[in-house]
Each structure stands twice: as C-alpha cells, then as structure tokens.
Chain A
Amino acid sequence: MLDIHIQKQLGHFRLDIGVQAPAGVTAIFGPSGSGKTSVVNAVAGLMTPDQGRISVGEAVLLDTSRGQNLPVHKRRVGYVFQDARLFPHMTVQRNLEYGGMHDAERVISVLGLQELLDRRPAGLSGGERQRVALGRALMCDPQILLMDEPLAALDAARKAEILPYIERLRDDVKIPILYVTHDVSEVARLATTLVVMDQGQVATAGPVDEVLSQPRAVPLVGVRAAGAVIMTKVAGRLLDDGLTELAFSGGRLLMPGNLGGLGQVIRVRIPAQDVILSREAPQGLSALNVLPVTICGIEDGRGPGVAVGLLAGNDRLLARVTRRSLQRMELAVGQEIYAIIKATAVGPEDVGH
C-alpha cells in the first residue's frame, strides 16, 4: 500500500492531497494543471513537498515532521515518463541494464524487447521507446511503479500496441502502480482504483467501478468521457454476426468483435451519453441491448444535461439525458425503467482484460 499525504504551495497553485494506492493500478485522473504530475514527482522525490508523509508499506520515503527525506536514488521507484527519457548515447540493452538486472529475461520477453536490444533510442518508434522505458523501470526492481501519461504522446494504434502489456503487468507484478492520465478510456481499461483530481485536490476517489458510476462524477470526468465500467464474463459468441455475448449481474449484453474466450472476465466501459432510457419495454428497436434497471441517483448539474445513476443487478450504470427528457418522463429515484445500449456504442478502446 502506497500512502501519500502532501501539501505544496506552487505560486498561486496549492497542492493538498491524500491518496492511498493499493497493489494494482491507481489511476490519477484530471484535467491538465490539476497537479497530477506533481503527485508522482513527490513520490519519486523529484519534487519536495512543503509538508507531508509518503510511505510504501513499512518504508518511509518522506516525513517532514521528522525531517526524513529519502534521496531519489534510494527510493526504489520505477518511473516511466511521458517522453520515455531513454539515454540517447546508450543502446537499448544498456538502457535496460542501467538500473539493474531484476528479472531481466522475463521483462525482455514479456515486453518483446529482444530484437531491439542492439538499437539506439533515436531509431525507435514512440511505442517501442515506451516499452523500453517500461522495461528499464521494471528491471530496477521497484517497490512502486510510477507512470506519467505514458501513452499521451502516442497515436491510437501505438496505444493499442502497449495497453495489453500494461494490463499484463498490472496482473503480474504485485506492487502499487500510480498511473497518471487524462484519458478516461485508459482509466476504464487499466485502473483498479481511481483518484480524480481537480485544482490540486482530490475531488473523489475509490474503486474505479464505484467512482465512474456515481452520477456526481460526470462533471468531474467530463460529460463526453463519463460512463460506468462493469466487469463481465464472456458467455457466448455469435460467430455469424461477429458479436460476443457478455453476462453480468444485470443481464446480458451483445458487443461487437471477438472479445475473448468463453468464461474470460473482461471489463467494459459503457459511455453515459450512449445509454438511452425508456419507461416501457421498447418494441421494434434496432438496439440489441435492453436491460431492466432501477434509478438509484440523479445528479442535476449545470447545463442542459442530467446524469442518472442506474442499478442493473448488483452493477451500476450511468446514463446522461437532457433535463427536458427527465422532466417529461417524470423520472425519479427508485423507479424501475429500461436502459437501452447500442452495441456499437462500445468501441474497442473501451474493452479491457
């Protein structure tokens, strides 16, 4: 468990946060300028807070009340920077070995670095560079892994190339991973815990499925990005139609594409703006997925939109409708209605393993 409690005044900007990151991926999400990178830099020791305490399990990295401040190179953090920061005058092999040889063979094979070993950073693609940077961070046997928007500089294809590696990492290594991002689909795919930051403070935090399905998370995450994440199990494949059937506590969903083998657990993000609500069971509709749900929360924000929290079985979904529809349909908490989800609303970037 990584425990962070820090305060820092940076000009007019004040950072004041408390974050607890268990093993697994803790996503630090928020708009640019919200202080995300300062948090990971404080953990790495690249930024010294005015006051605070940072500890990993028993090891104390910083405790200003006792004047403790472990220097950067003794903190055993693996840091993957947005710009990779590979040493340009060394080969990939020497870059990897710079911090140590921990589990070298496996890291190299898992990240597919074998054929890159003799190359120099200048000759690598953006995706390859990030893979090397990740390998280098892992080979120094870190007790925490910090990733600061590692995919932000990559295009969609390169992102798709690296995401599976990070998913595998999350399930393999048993250390806390702090993952800074402003991309909600990365959160949906990777995170186990979510910390939403806003103006130097924690706006909300908790298990990713809980946080993302709160109606009040919508304005924090952004209307377009908002959407619940649910864990589902592959229940069948409709080969002729190219669809996968997913089962979860609220029923069954049909999603396009081959999403995995029978029984495999996958997580799906369902964008709030692609969920349609109906008071009666709809007839003659092209949408494949109709789920009976109960309204469990309504968040009336500014603007024309309203976020509606839905309970489907034990899982929570989120819908975003206009205030006008809400009033016309006379929706209220506790009502039993139907949620309609278009199968194509869920893109490949919203599906994780």
Chain B
Amino acid sequence: MTASLGPEEWAAIWLSLQVALVATVCALPLAVWVAYVLARKQFPGRQLLNGLVHLPLVLPPVVTGYLLLIIFGQQGPLGAFLHSTFGVSLAFRWTGAALAAAIMAFPLMVRAIRLGIEAVDPGLEAAAATLGASRTRIFMSVTLPLVLPGVLAGTVLGFAKALGEFGATITFVAAIPGQTQTIPSAIYGLLQVPGSEPAVVRLVIVSVVLAMGALLVSEWLAHRMARRVAA
C-alpha cells in the first residue's frame, strides 16, 4: 500500500474543493438574504419559504438530484433555456455538481446565519438610530459585525456539506473522472473495483481531515460569536 495519492485521486480532491468553493461562494449572498428575511420580516408565505429552504435537508438526496435533472437537464425547462441562451449546460458538468452541492448546503447555511441574526438584539439597532446613525451605518457598524461570526460559521458548514455531497450530485451529473467525479463519488467508484482499498483509505483520510477542519473552524467561530454577542 502506497501512502501517496495518485493523479486521479488528486483530480477528485481538486475538483471537490473547486465545486465546494464555487457552490458556497455563489450560495452565500442568497443565504444571508433569506436568513435575514426569515429572522426579521413577517410576511405571508414565510412558512412556505422556510419549508422550501429546508426541503433539500429532508428529501432523499436522490430525489433532489432527480428533480435537478428534470429541471436543469438538456431537455428540462431551465436547462434548455440556459443552453440556448447562454450556451451553459449543467447536466454531467462540474458546474452542475456545484449547483447540486449549493442546493444541498443551502439549508445548513441559512440555519446557521439565521441563528446569528436572531442573536442580535434589534434594540441595539434602535439605540444606534437614536444616536443619529443612518440605516446603512447601522447595518455596517452594528448589525454586520455582530452577525459576521454567524455568517462565517454558516459558510464553513456549507462548505463542508458541499464537499461531501454525494446522492444528489451522482444522480444529476454522474461521476465522470476529471469532470464530475468528486471525492465521495470517487470513493464509491473505487469500492466497486476489487483491490483498490489503499486508494479508498487515502481518500477517506482526506475526507475526514477536511470535514474535521471545517467543523473545528465552525465551532471556534460559533464560540466567538456567543462571547461577542453576550452583553
């Protein structure tokens, strides 16, 4: 058994990181907005939005992947539109893997960010207003600094989830080496081949290290947030 990673394994690792990074970065602004709306605004359809956001968390990932395939596949309504208008195709591409990862990570990001927003006392924003601060200044100087640790925690959690996404990804974009084969789908593929246990073990170790690292960072940020907001 060799300890070093082969080129195909490296490809899977880099692809996983790329997919997870793009998924998290693209989902973040929307997640912050949805979390803010859910935490602070009362409007009809609030529960519906909340349910919709959480759906990927409770649906079997295969179902989510299949729905993505139907909607974003070459023949799907959005897929056909994107392909004919922008020349972008998602199915069986790494971009599709990023979309699947983003959708699966989204509920976790929204939850963490929402907790961060709910921990900020709206009374502090009212106090800032009485001291002459405009809405923009209040958001930049009071709300954002207090919410930031929650946003970071949500980002890390979403990144870890995107890194490990399997079910929806493999259903939507399959596992094409170098194109859509991420770490989890590479491990799954290797398990089907006799004698590839060393490669499996190496990728498993990489997975554990990445996930553990993300969790530790997330915990540390959550701890900081709790200390900072406790007044």
Whether B230 contacts A88 by the Cβ 8 Å rule is: yes
Q: How far is the CB of A191 from chain B (nearest CB, A)?
A: 22
Whether B126 contacts A121 by the Cβ 8 Å rule is: no
Q: Is B145 an interface residue (CB 8 A)?
A: yes
Whether A86 contacts B133 by the Cβ 8 Å rule is: no
Whether B132 contacts A73 by the Cβ 8 Å rule is: yes
How far is B81's CA from A269's CA once the two chains are assembled, in angstroms?
A: 81
- Which residues of chain A come closer than 8 Å to B141, judged between CB atoms? 98
Whether A98 contacts B231 by the Cβ 8 Å rule is: no
- Which residues of chain B come closer than 8 Å to A46, judged between CB atoms? 126, 129-130
Residues 69-85 of A, flagged 1 when their CB comes within 8 A of B and 0 if not, give 00111111111010101
How far is B128's CA from A41's CA once the two chains are assembled, in angstroms?
A: 14
Whether A72 contacts B130 by the Cβ 8 Å rule is: yes
Q: Is B209 an interface residue (CB 8 A)?
A: no
Whether A85 contacts B132 by the Cβ 8 Å rule is: no
Q: Is A44 an interface residue (CB 8 A)?
A: yes
Most buried by B among A44, A45, A87, A122: A87
Q: How far is the CB of B190 from chain A (nearest CB, A)?
A: 48
- Which residues of chain A come closer than 8 Å to B127, judged between CB atoms? 79, 81, 85, 87
Range of interface residues on B (Cβ < 8 Å): 20 to 34
Known: A121-B231, A122-B230. A85 touches B123 (CB 8 A): yes
Q: Is A112 an interface residue (CB 8 A)?
A: no
Q: How many A-B pairs with Cβ below 8 Å? A: 65
- Which residues of chain B come closer than 8 Å to A89, judged between CB atoms? 145-146, 228
How far is B144's CA from A87's CA once the two chains are assembled, in angstroms?
A: 12
Whether A99 contacts B230 by the Cβ 8 Å rule is: no
Name which residue of chain A comes closest to B137, CB basis: A73
Which residues of chain B from 91 to 148 have a CB within 8 Å of any chain A CB?
121, 123-124, 126-134, 141-142, 145-146
How far is B132's CA from A99's CA once the two chains are assembled, in angstroms?
A: 6
**Residue from B128, B129, B133, B228 in contact with A88 in the complex, judged by beta carbons closer than 8 Å:** B228
- Which residues of chain B come closer than 8 Å to A72, judged between CB atoms? 126, 129-130
Residues 123-143 of A, flagged 1 when their CB comes within 8 A of B and 0 if not, give 000000000000011001000
Name which residue of chain A comes closest to B227, CB basis: A122
Whether B132 contacts A122 by the Cβ 8 Å rule is: no
Q: Is B229 an interface residue (CB 8 A)?
A: yes
Q: Is A313 an interface residue (CB 8 A)?
A: no
- Which residues of chain A come closer than 8 Å to B132, judged between CB atoms? 73-74, 76, 99-100, 140
- Which residues of chain B come closer than 8 Å to A75, judged between CB atoms? 130
How far is B142's CA from A76's CA once the two chains are assembled, in angstroms?
A: 19
Known: A87-B128, A88-B228. A73 touches B121 (CB 8 A): no
Name which residue of chain A comes closest to B228, CB basis: A89
Whether B231 contacts A86 by the Cβ 8 Å rule is: yes
- Which residues of chain A come closer than 8 Å to B131, judged between CB atoms? 73, 98-100, 136-137, 140
Whether A85 contacts B230 by the Cβ 8 Å rule is: no
**Residue from A79, A83, A86, A121 in contact with B130 in the complex, judged by beta carbons closer than 8 Å:** A79
Q: How far is the CB of A78 from chain B (nearest CB, A)?
A: 7
- Which residues of chain B come closer than 8 Å to A86, judged between CB atoms? 231
Name which residue of chain B comes closest to A82, CB basis: B123
- Which residues of chain A come closer than 8 Å to B134, judged between CB atoms? 73
Whether B130 contacts A78 by the Cβ 8 Å rule is: yes
Q: How far is the CB of A23 from chain B (nearest CB, A)?
A: 20
- Which residues of chain B come closer than 8 Å to A73, judged between CB atoms? 129-134
Q: How far is the CB of B119 from chain A (nearest CB, A)?
A: 10
Whether B123 contacts A81 by the Cβ 8 Å rule is: yes
Name which residue of chain A comes closest to B129, CB basis: A72
Most buried by B among A88, A136, A137: A88
Whether B130 contacts A98 by the Cβ 8 Å rule is: no
Whether B146 contacts A98 by the Cβ 8 Å rule is: no
How far is B112's CA from A277's CA once the two chains are assembled, in angstroms?
A: 68
Q: How far is the CB of B27 from chain A (nearest CB, A)?
A: 26
Q: How far is the CB of B23 from chain A (nearest CB, A)?
A: 30
Q: How far is the CB of B50 from chain A (nearest CB, A)?
A: 26
**Residue from B124, B129, B130, B230 in contact with A87 in the complex, judged by beta carbons closer than 8 Å:** B124
Residues 218-231 of B, flagged 1 when their CB comes within 8 A of A and 0 if not, give 00000000011111
Q: How far is the CB of B164 from chain A (nearest CB, A)?
A: 33
Shortest 10 CB-CB distances between A and B: which pairs? A99-B131, A88-B231, A72-B129, A85-B127, A79-B130, A73-B129, A73-B132, A140-B131, A89-B145, A85-B123
Some 26 contacts from A to B, beta carbons below 8 A apart, are A44-B130, A45-B130, A46-B130, A71-B129, A72-B130, A73-B129, A73-B130, A73-B132, A76-B132, A81-B127, A85-B123, A85-B124, A85-B127, A89-B145, A89-B146, A89-B228, A98-B128, A98-B141, A99-B130, A99-B133, A100-B131, A100-B132, A121-B231, A122-B227, A137-B130, A137-B131
Given A78-B130, A88-B230, 15 additional A-B pairs, CB 8 A:
A71-B129, A73-B133, A75-B130, A81-B123, A85-B121, A86-B231, A87-B127, A87-B128, A88-B228, A89-B228, A100-B131, A122-B227, A136-B131, A137-B131, A146-B130
